[in-house]
Amino acid sequence: MSKLRIANLASIPTLSALLFGLFAGQLAAQDFQVHPSTQDPAVLVTLDTLAEWEEELSNWGRWGPADQRGALNLITPEKTVQAASLVQAGETVTLQHFVLKERAMDSQSFGPYEHWMSRVDPVTGEPSFALDEIQFSLHDGMLSHLDALCHYRKEIDGRFVIFNGYDQNLTVNGCADLAVDRMGASYVTRGILVDMPLLRGVAYLAPSTPIFVEDLEAWEEFAGVTIGSGDALLVRTGRWARRDDIGPWAYGQGGAGLHASVLPWLRERDVAILVGDAVNDVQPSGVEGINRPIHQLTQVNIGLPLVDNGYLQAVAEAAERHQRWEFMVSIQINQIEGGTASPFNANATF
């Protein structure tokens, strides 16, 4: 059996040094502890547990040896027709948050955001034509982004391997396989919002609050929905509401999110895409030895694409207004050749 290791693009030493060097003073003030409920024997997950789940939950080969879409294959034509039938009011809201000019502990940690006019008169310094350019990191803390399935990896016999058994062949041009442009261009499916703050009667979950299977199933009962095959599952912790309330904070170190014990449930329900408003994993994870087990097993073993920093504030307000937590979701994936992610260009329509 392979040894589980956390290994992602942020583990590159120079990038890590940049990340922590930029905001060391701010990050030092943050002190987040493992939530005690994650250590309950009924839900406790260890590295040995995850190693067993690597095999038990695997979707390798399920859609053929050449597959590069993973669980997105579950969004069938029939699923799209079902989603379209949910449109009743004709109201559309965005699921995307874009990068900000603001430099803060939760933004521009992987690279700068810049926007400039590309046709400027050399004499006057004024724009001579309405053309511009932009630069930002695809994994920016303020950007809703879909991780490509090449983003996380595991080691087998000295090889770094990604979903479906591909070698993680990284070059200066990006990922050779499972890059975001290999995952399809667009999808329409049923979205289901799990609004945990609404269920608990709070504006947002406290930092490091874990979400367990019992919470997801309590939401199903509350909302009158059943999460199933091909669905886009949107899990709201209230990250954006908390930022509006208190300002920037180190959500990547202390965000509420899913606990690792949810992994078999996600595989059983055949969720097609998982959208969180922070980093999906509860932080700290409560699993000794790995801090983002949801990322690791969904991307490498299950082939379940993740969206980090999904903007779930507007859809939560619309869903509560309509008293309906299922809707049509339309997703467009930017065809970034070799890309490790794409901006999450997605809408929810009621």
| CB count in 10 Å sphere of residue 133 | 10
- Alpha carbon 327 to chain centroid distance? 19
What are phi and psi for residue 321, nearest 5 degrees? -65, -40
Beta carbons within 8 Å of 138's beta carbon, 6+ residues apart:
145, 336, 339, 340, 341, 342, 343
Rounded distance between C-alpha atoms, residue 31 and residue 47, angstroms: 24
Both tokens of residue 331? 């997703």
How confident is the model at residue 4, as a pLDDT?
37
SS3 333: coil
Domain ranges of the chain: 9-349
Peptide bond preceding 264: is omega within 30 degrees of 0, i.e. cis? no
How confident is the model at residue 31, as a pLDDT?
85
The H-or-E segment that residue 51 falls in is helix 47-56
User: pLDDT of the chain along its 350 residues, tens only?
Assistant: 333 333 334 333 333 333 333 433 344 456 899 999 999 999 999 999 999 999 999 999 999 999 999 999 999 999 999 999 999 999 999 999 999 998 999 999 899 999 999 999 999 999 999 999 999 999 999 999 999 999 999 999 999 999 999 999 999 999 999 999 999 999 999 999 999 999 999 999 999 999 999 999 999 999 999 999 999 999 999 999 999 999 999 999 999 999 999 999 999 999 999 999 999 999 999 999 999 999 999 999 999 999 999 999 999 999 999 999 999 999 999 999 999 999 999 999 99
Both tokens of residue 89? 């009011």
Q: How many helices (H) and strands (E) does the chain have?
A: 11, 17
Rounded distance between C-alpha atoms, residue 125 and residue 92, angstroms: 40
Rounded distance between C-alpha atoms, residue 242 and residue 249, angstroms: 9
How confident is the model at residue 225, as a pLDDT?
98
Beta carbons within 8 Å of 274's beta carbon, 6+ residues apart:
233, 235, 266, 280, 294, 298, 304, 305, 306, 307
State the number of CA atoms in the 13 A half-sphere of 339 facing the CB.
20
CATH architecture of 9-349: 3-Layer(bba) Sandwich (3.50)
The H-or-E segment that residue 90 falls in is none
Is the whole-model pTM more than 0.85? yes
How confident is the model at residue 102, as a pLDDT?
86
DSSP string, 208-275: T-EE-HHHHHHHHHHHT----TT-EEEEE--HHHHHHHH----HHHH--EE-GGGHHHHHHHT-SEEE
How confident is the model at residue 218, as a pLDDT?
98
Rounded distance between C-alpha atoms, residue 260 and residue 292, angstroms: 8
CB 111 within 8 A of CB 137: yes
Both tokens of residue 277? 């408003």
Rounded distance between C-alpha atoms, residue 300 and residue 304, angstroms: 8
